[in-house]
Chains A and B, each alone.
Chain A
Amino acid sequence: DGGITQSPKYLFRKEGQNVTLSCEQNLNHDAMYWYRQDPGQGLRLIYYSQIVNDFQKGDIAEGYSVSREKKESFPLTVTSAQKNPTAFYLCASSTGQGKNEQFFGPGTRLTVL
């Protein structure tokens, strides 16, 4: 089955620690995205990548970092510099063509203790 996976589903972190969220897709999509969603809020773009070894900052990139070494993978690191990291994190991928339909993973709920 083609799809996009994120792990883990739930993640707990102590304040001051970095943590990396995994995102993998086997849809052969060029574009990948990371969004943050807070309760009752929309999706805010953290980073996106149009192609391997290239990525751009979204609207709320401060305190986050990404890499795109493989087409299938786009991990997100939440650093200790992110002041309020507790949120629901969603990864998505798309062909980047036409209607650019984005396919989302199931999300990772990060809680900072």
Chain B
Amino acid sequence: GQSLEQPSEVTAVEGAIVQINCTYQTSGFYGLSWYQQHDGGAPTFLSYNALDGLEETGRFSSFLSRSDSYGYLLLQELQMKDSASYFCAAMTGGFKTIFGAGTRLFVKA
């Protein structure tokens, strides 16, 4: 079957750096996206990697290694408002996207 694995929870302190890992197993793969979702809200897009390497968008960076079927989201200078769930999502072809179960990030003061 197709699946994406990510840790269920991560805790970090304000101002720190945190990395959320994602490994995927899919029958087709075109790219890996990351979404943020606050409690009760809708997911919002953060970043996308189609090729190996690092993509940087402000305090957020995302990395992909296609040979390892692995990616991560890096959040720097953590703020309290970053407390949310983070989902990795794989584009598997034909517009279809499969989401991981999500990583809940707790940022402590």
Contact = CB atoms under 8 A, between A and B. Distances in A.
Contacts of B43: 43, 90, 102, 104
Contact of A104 (B44, B94, B96): B44
Interface residues of A, number: 26
Interface centre among A58, A59, A104 (most CB of B within 10 A): A104
Interface centre among B4, B33, B44, B96 (most CB of A within 10 A): B96
Contact of B100 (A42, A59, A101): A42
Interface string A53-78: 00010110000000000000000000
Given A42-B87, A90-B43, A106-B42, A100 B100 contact: no
Nearest to B47: A99
Contacts of A58: 96
Interface of B: 4, 31, 33, 35, 41-45, 48, 50, 87, 89, 91, 94-102
